[in-house]
Amino acid sequence: MSKKTKKDLRSMFIYQVYIRNHNKTGSFNEFVEDLDRIQDLGVDIVYFLPIHKIGQKKKKGDLGCPYSIQDYRSINPEYGTIEDFINLVKEIHKREMKVMIDIVYNHTSHDSELLIKHPEYFYKNEKGEFSNRVGDWWDITDLDFTKDISLWEYLIGNLVYWAELGVDGFRWDVASLLPMEFLEEAEERVHDKYPEVIFLSESVHGGFVRYLRGEGYKALSESEIYQVFDMAYDYDTHPYFEGYLKGEVPLKRYLEELLRQEEIYPDNYIKMRNLENHDFGRFSKVVKNDKIKINNWTSQVFFSKGSTMIYAGQERCDNNLPSLFDIDKVNWAGNDISPLITRLAKITKNKIFSYGHYNINITDKDVYYGEYKLDNKHIIGIFNLGKDEGFIEVDIPDGKYVNLLDDTNIAIYNKKLILSNNPLLFWVNK
C-alpha cells in the first residue's frame, strides 16, 4: 500500500453509477438533477463506470461494453460533451463530494485510436493476431507493456489530463493484470502533481491469480497491490461471502477471512466493501428480497473495516442487474432502504471506524458480532445475518443500550443478548 494512504479514507462512502442506465436520457446533464438526493444519502465519492467512447468493432450487445474503450480522452456522446462532464464535476464538487472514474489500461477496443496509431503497443497471440490473453473478453484486445516505454507515458498522461479536469480518483479495472513497475510509475507521477488523488484497485479473485500464473502470465497478488493503491476491492474474501449465501460455506469461514486481513495487510490497508457491483448480481435478488437479510447485511458491510460502495439502485433494492451492453434502466420503484443507508453513512464517519482497533467475535450462530475500540470509546455491531433465534453471549457489561439505527433499547443480562431480526449498532461507553 502507498505509505501515504490516510486511514481517513476508510470512512468514504462510494456511489457507483452507470450513466447509460441511471436515468431516462442516460446523460450527464440529467444526472445533475439527482445529485442532491445522492448527497443526502451521505455519499462522499461518485464513481462512474467508463465514460469514454465505446468501440464498435466486435462489440457486445446493441451498444457495446463501456470497458471496450475507443479513445481514453473522449466522452461517450450518449452521455453528452466534455463541457457537460466538466460541469458535472463542478456540480459534484459544489456538494462537497468527489469524482472517481474508471481507468481501463489492460486493453482497448479492436478499433481504438491507440491500436490504429500504435499497433506496436499491443499483445499478439501465437498466430500473430491482436487478441486478449484470457477470458471471454472477445470484444477487446490487450495492451503489451513490455514493447515500448512511450505507452507508459501516454497512459500516465491520460491520468494527469483527467485530474486536471477535476477528477479526484481512479478505479483501476483488473489492476492485478498490470505490471507493478508501471503502476509504481503512475502512482508517483500522478501524486507528484495531485497528491490527494485516490487510487482504487479492482484486484481480482485469488483463484484467478493462480489461474493466470498457471497460464504463464504475471498477476499481482492482493499484498502486492497495496504497494501502490490506497484501496482494493474485497475480492479475497468474496468467494467465502458468495459461498455462504449459496449455503456452501459456513458463516464462520467468511468471518475468519475478514479477520485474516488484519494479519496480512499493512496497518493502513483499506478494503472497499460492497454487496453488489456491475459484475455481480443484485443483492436483493440473491436473498430473494428478504428485508431482514437486506437490512442486516447492509449494516454489516458499512460496519466492516474499510470504505463502502453501493451500486446505484441498491438503495431501492433493485432486483435487475442492468446490462452493460444495452439500454436496461435501473428500477427505482423498489423497497427504499435509503433511511438506513443514510444513518449508517453518518454513524461510520466517526473517527473510531478509521482508527479504532477492529475485531470480530466469532460465535456458533449465523451472526456477525464486531467491535471497534479507540481510547475510552467502544462501539458494537451485531447483525443477525442468518435470522437465528435465541441469544448470544457477549463480553459487554449488563445494562440497557440504545440502538443507533432505530433508537430502540437493547438489553444485556448475564452477559447475554437476545437475538433480534433488526441490525444492532450501539456504543458501550462514550
Residues 273 and 244 in one domain: yes
Which one of 353, 387, 407 terminates a domain? 353
* Other residues' Cβ atoms within 10 Å of the Cβ of residue 4: 11
Looking at the fold, whether 329 and 396 belong to one and the same domain comes out as: no
Please report, to the nearest 10 degrees, the dihedral formed by the alpha carbons of residues 150, 155, 160, 161 taken in order: 100
Q: Are residues 138 and 233 in the same domain?
A: yes
Of 353, 378, 400, the residue that ends a domain is 353
Domain containing residue 101: CATH number: 3.20.20.80
Residues 48 and 163 in one domain: yes
Task: Let me know if residue 276 belongs to a domain.
Answer: yes
Q: Are residues 391 and 244 in the same domain?
A: no
Residue 136 has pLDDT above 80, yes or no: no
Task: Indicate if 266 and 223 belong to the same structural domain.
Answer: yes
Q: Residue 53: which of 66, 35, 42 has the closest Cα?
A: 66
Q: Tens of pLDDT along 358-388?
A: 999 999 999 999 999 999 999 999 999 999 9
CATH of the domain at 423: 2.60.40.1180
Question: Cβ–Cβ contacts within 10 Å for residue 247, how many?
Answer: 7
On the question of pLDDT at 114 being above 50, the answer is yes
Q: Is residue 310 part of a domain?
A: yes
Residue 1 has pLDDT above 60, yes or no: no
Whether 155 and 212 map to the same domain: the answer is yes
Is residue 2 a part of any domain in this protein?
A: no
Gyration radius of the chain's alpha carbons: 22
Please write the tens of the pLDDT for every residue from 99-110. 999 999 999 999
On average, the pLDDT of the chain sits at 95
3-state secondary structure 343-412: HHHHHCCCCHHHHCEEEECCCCCCCEEEEEEECCEEEEEEECCCCCCCEEECCCCCEEEECCCCCCEEEE
Please check whether residue 361 lies inside any domain of the structure: no
Task: Tell me the per-residue pLDDT of 265-302, one tens digit each, with 9 for 90 and over.
Answer: 999 999 999 999 999 889 999 999 999 999 999 999 99
Range of the structural domain that residue 258 is part of: 7-353
Same domain, 141 and 225: yes
Give a yes or no: residue 359 inside a domain.
no
Displacement of CA 405 from its chain's centroid (Å): 23
Question: HSE-up of 42 (CA within 13 Å, CB side)?
Answer: 21
Total structural domains within the chain: 2
Q: Is residue 362 part of a domain?
A: no
Instruction: Identify whether residues 267 and 188 lie together within a single domain.
Output: yes
410 within a domain of the structure (yes/no): yes
Report which secondary-structure segment, H or E, holds 308.
strand 307-311
In a domain, residue 246? The reply is: yes
Task: Please check whether residues 318 and 407 belong to one and the same domain.
Answer: no
Q: What residue type is assigned to position 267 of the chain?
A: D
Looking at the fold, whether 235 and 380 belong to one and the same domain comes out as no
Give yes or no: residues 375 and 342 share one domain: no
